[in-house]
Every structure is written in C-alpha cells, then in structure tokens.
Structure 1
Amino acid sequence: MSTSTLAAAPLLSPQRFAVSLMFLVNGFLVGSWAPKIPEFALRLNLDESDLGLMIMCFGIGSLCAMPAVGALIAGRGSRRVMLALAAATIACLPFVTIAPSIWVAAIALFVFGGVIGGMDVAMNANAVEVEKRQGRAIMSSCHGFWSLGGVAGAGLGGLLIAGYGEHIHALAASALVLVGVALAWPRALADPPHPQEAHIHGQPSKRPGLLAAGATVWLTGIICLIMMTPEGAILDWGALYLRQELGASPALSGLAFGAFSAAMALMRFLGDFVRDRFGAVTTFRVSAILAMVGLGLAGAAPSAEAAIFGFALAGLGFANTVPIAFSAAGNLPGLPQGLAISVVTFMGYSGILFAPSVIGFIAEHTGFALIYMALPVFVILPLVFSGLMRHADRPQG
C-alpha cells in the first residue's frame, strides 16, 4: 500500500470501529462459553465423553454454516449478514443455559456454533471491505480484538458465574453483546452485493459454492489449515506436554497456551503496521519462519521454561499469518469475496477442531516433543506458496 494512501486514510474510522467491535463481540461470546462448560456438564449430568460430543456439536454447527454464509454474502453483502448474525448471537447463551435436556442442549450448541461460525466469515469479509476502502491493513488488529474479547469473556464469565450463577451470567453477557451490536449497527460499512464476481476462470458460476472455488482459494485454505493447526495442538496438549514430559507444576503448565495466546494477541495489534511497512508477503514469510523456530524450540526444550519461551515465540510468528491469508482470500480475483473467505475459514477451523484428536493419537506412541518438532515441517508448504499473499496488498475494490 502506498505511503500517500496510508497518510490519507484515517487510523480509526467508524467502519473500522464497527468491524473491530464485531470481532470483539464474537470473541467475547466464545470466551463466555468456556467458563459455563463445568456448570453445563453438571446440570445435564454429562461425563467427559458426553461433554466432548456436545462440544463437537458447536464445532460442527460452525463448519456447516460457513459455506452457506459465504454464498449469502455474495448475494447480499457482508454488512447485512454480519449484523443479522451478530443480533442472533444475543439469544444464544441464554438458550444454552436454559436447555432442559441433552437433545435440546445439543441443538442449542449446534445453533450457537453455526451463528458464531457464520458471523466469523461475515466479519472477516467486512474487514476486507474496510481494508479496500481505507487502503490500510486492519485484519491483524481485528483478530487481536477477537483474542481480547475471548479473554474478557472468560474472565468476566468466571466472576459472574461464581458470584451470581450461570443464569445471571448469560443475561449479563447477552446485554453486553446487545450494546456492542447497537454501537456497530449504524457504523458498519455498507458494502454492495457482488453477484457479478461469481466467475471461476472467466466462466460464470450459476451456484457459487465450495465446489465452484478455484485451485488458488483452496491452496490458500490449506495454508490456513496448516497455520491454525498448531494453535489447537498447543491449546489441547501444551499443558499436558509440560507436565508429563518436562515435569512442570500445574500452575506452570498452564502457561503453555497462556504464553502462546498472549504473544499472539500482542503481535496482532502490531501486525497491521508491520504489514503496511514491509508488505504482506515479507511479513508472512518472516512470521512463518519465526513460528517454525518457536515450535522447534518448544519441542526440543530441556525444561518447561524453555518450552514456554518457544510457545511464546511461536505465538509471535503465527499471529499475523492467518489474518494475512484471510485478506489475500478476500482479494482473489474472479471469486465472490464471501465464498473465498468461507473456504479458508472452513479449512482453517477444521484444523483447530479435528487435528488435535489426530495429534493426541500419534503422541500416545511418539510423545509430544516429537510432535512439536515435526509441526514446523508442515509450515514449509505455506512458505513455498507464500507468494499468494501478495493479493492482500492488492485490493480489488
């Protein structure tokens, strides 16, 4: 992006404020769900395997909604879809909280996941539109606000549940979401639908969908899958690795994901400046190499403290790779923006949801140290195809 364009663009426009607020709200809701899980399991008398299946309903709902929302954005624009889904989230936590049976709770979680996942696609699409209008990178900081919302939701949720119970918590969280949606509604960027963009390799696509996407967007999706898989691996297995293989205390082992996520959030708020200064491709390549080094250090670490340092380094590296890939997908020529982003979102979150199960099975035979040392090998593919990230610097608007 040119220096003159950046100088002319306001750093915090109403449209940027609105989409950043939507990321904050989405992360806040996901974070608010986390401290409810023990109460949810106790109320419905769920054991660990039952609870795992219930949580999977949330993930499946998200993945099912993403392709449909991508097609909807192409026909109606990202603003209308984003705000409609954001409004729908207001009822989700109370619905989950009052679900009287396992089957109703499963449906509630499926709907909750679908609304959250669909909103994820729409708000990323809207962020791409804001980038186009402003001529300035904003995607990394938007994802930083998502992380901030997650921390706020989890922290506030724990306090409210402990002090007032899960019903008051659900109502309070929903009230805060309502305020966020009301603030964003008049400020969100109104982008027009782009049905005319639904062309694949120059040929009109009568029914835009995942199968209509070209090889470039699928490759970008694979890059997202690879770059998001380590987040799931550290979230689900990092603490266990520190305790079982490096002898860490329970308190210290919790810093595996804590250090990773804190470093990631910090770097995401710096990432837009870095991308505007050095370009998307260079930022992506340096970030990927830093992530590889961090994972390798974590796997080869002789102590828990060294592994935590490696995880933090990996968080700094992975922080901006996915936001850059989302921006690149939203600017791919010849594809509806919503479709492209739904593909990369679908594939990326598949990595977070399903890869940890595979990793756990393999680690049972190899140990986690080898897993963390092997994960950097997969990052070679995104490095090889990092030239695709040039589209993030070439808005098509």
Structure 2
Amino acid sequence: MKILIVGNGARESAIAMKLKSDKRISKMYFAQGNATTDSIGQNVYEDSVEGLRDFAIKERIDLTIVGPEAPLVAGIVDEFKAHNLKIFGPRKRTAELEGSKAFSKKFMQTHNIKTAKAVVFDAYQEAIDYVRTQPFPLVIKASGLAGGKGVVIADDLAEAESTIHQFMIERIYGDAGIQLVIEEYLRGFEASIIAFSNGEKLFPCIPVKDYKKAGTGDTGPNTGGMGSVAPSPEFTEEHHRDFEENILKPTLEGLHAYNIRFKGFIFFGLMITENGTYLLEYNMRLGDPETQSIMALLENNLFDVITDCLAGNDIELKFSDKKAVCLVMCSGGYPRQIETGFEIRNIDKVHESQVLFAGARMKGDKVVTSGGRVLSLVATGDTFEEARKKVYEDARTIHFDYETYREDIGKF
C-alpha cells in the first residue's frame, strides 16, 4: 500500500509514526511534510488540490489522509473521489462546518446543539453597534479560516471595537474576517473530543485538554496550541453524558438531516461550565496538538480503523490507561513575528520522549527551524507528573536560538 499524508505539522508526524510499523504500507508520501516525515518516507512539494490529485494518480496512491483544514475546504476530497482515489476526509460542503463559523453556528442553532448564544455580522457598523449594547467579556470570531488565531476574547468595548476593525477593515486575516460571529463568553474549562466517522455513526476518542495561550499560566495571545494532555483530567463521566446527549447525538442527527454522510474526522471544541458542556466549534479534521497525545495512547491499528470507517464498518476504539503529555516548542515571538533557519541541537540526546517535528526541515545533515511551532515532545506515564517530567527533561536538552515553550503543560 502507498499512503499520501497531506500536511506538514506535528499532527502529520504523529500519524506517520503511528503508521510506519505497518508492514502492509510499502511507502508513505507527505505533501510538504517536515523533518520527521522526511526520515520516514518522501516529502513532496505539491500544494494545490489539482497537483496532489495528479501526484496521487501518477504514484497510484492507495489511501490519502488529510491533516489540515485548508485542503478540505478547498475541495480535495471531492476532486479525489471524482477520480476514484481513496481519501479519508469530508467533502467541501461538509468542511464548511469548519470553514465558516457562521455556517456552523447556524447548524448548531438549527439542530438544538448546546452552544453559546451568538449573532453573525456581515456589516462593520452593525457589529460595532451590537457590541456597544453587550456586557463583557465577549468572544469575537473571524468566520473563515485563520490558522487557529481568528478568535479574540474582548474584555471591554475598546478591545471589541479594535478587534472588529482589525478583522473587517484592516483584514489582518484576509477574507476570513469579513464576516464575524460575536458570541457570549462562557466561563469554564475547555476540552477537545475527536471522533472518527464511518458515514453513519460517530466514534469518539478520549477527551483531550489543549493549551491555547502562548504563555505559562494561560497568558498572552491565542496560538495554534502550545501543548496537550490526554485524557483530560477535568472531564468527568457526567460531562461526557452531557456531551453525548446534547452535542454528539444532535450533531449526527443534523448531519443526516443535511444528507451528510462523510468518512473522516470531526473535532468538537468544548467549553465545560457550571451549567454543563457546550460546543464552541467544529473542526473537520484531527486537531493539533491533540492528535499527538491521542496517538500516543491509541491501541488500535490506525490503518485498520481508517479502512473500517471507509468501508462503513463499526469500530471499537481502545486506549491505554496511561497518561500522555505533549509539549510544543516554538520559535521566539510565536504566534507573532518569528525568525527561522536556526539549527536544532541535541536531538540525538532525547531519550524519554517522542520527537515530532512540525516547523522544522532538513538542511544538509542538520535540522533547522522553519515555522512557529517547531516540534512536539510526547511522553506517556502512569501519572501526568511522570509523563511531564519526561518531556520537560527533554525540552531542556534540545536547543535552538530563541526557543520558547510553556512551563505548565500537564501540571495540575
């Protein structure tokens, strides 16, 4: 079997590491890829839907797995299926549940999915007038894709007006911010649940805790994720029952009502408050850095699970009872201005953790930084303290210029 994995993050590295020992897989290709995938298979530098389609036809790819959201929203699954290429992920129409926060909020409201109250705005002045009448804090979201960064919790009117101006007028995220979702602020803790879909049913993984803020103690700007732990220590059986009854079940009913029967992943971004579990957002793919922790604990053969889902079969997911901690090491200044091209040293001295590169590439015989989130360190243990001790010992071993990471991942 030949496998093509689309994406260049630590998420794709985690998928590759999970698949690499499967003897049925003769070769893995990675669209863009990184320093980890370069050592496992072959990185290719096509990035358009058409280019990837042509590559898959030429190389007779048996299965494509899509990591990031942009190719899904661009319709890669539709294009591959039109050419009888096997691919795991939702079609373009379904990917709009992530690609348009306005569409997904309407979907939630239509199908009585437990979510925060929200209003969608297409006009700048109407959005400004609205926030002038609301209590704070307020959550302001760019409707389109903004790389996980188009969400601001505005603590006061000045911040709200500035954010709306940046999104809609200055267009700091391009067209992603010309439509906004402004919603009530929910106080509580977040959790992520990723589910496999076989076209008819959803099969959820264990809940994960993600750390979105750049700084230790949940300070600084939102990022694409600074670390994760699994299973989420705060997420109880009661929370899970609430999720299943008020989010998972009506989501599936809503998908069927829209005649959507996709085979791929669906990510539920949750907020757990004193009034129960609420849905913040859908992603229509694996999360990053949640995937790194999930794959460390998944006991199933990943290729079998995906193959069964594509065949429409039911699956039974099994996870280790250990704890997993993922720590993300970043370029200094992330998620804002960064410099890249710095050698990553002492990789060979890491012994306790799995190193999953993201914003890192090979340059000769060296690995150098090439992005904001440079690498993930993942370890497991009988306790979170045991697992986090491993990743932080290895983080102190690895060095590259201007490196930064949070000091509190997995600390409870």
TM-score, L = length of structure 1: 0.28
User: With CA pairs under 8 Å and 6+ residues apart, which has the higher RCO, 1 or 2?
Assistant: 1
What TM-score, normalized to structure 2?
0.27
**1 or 2, which has the higher strand percentage?**
2
More helix as a share of residues:
1
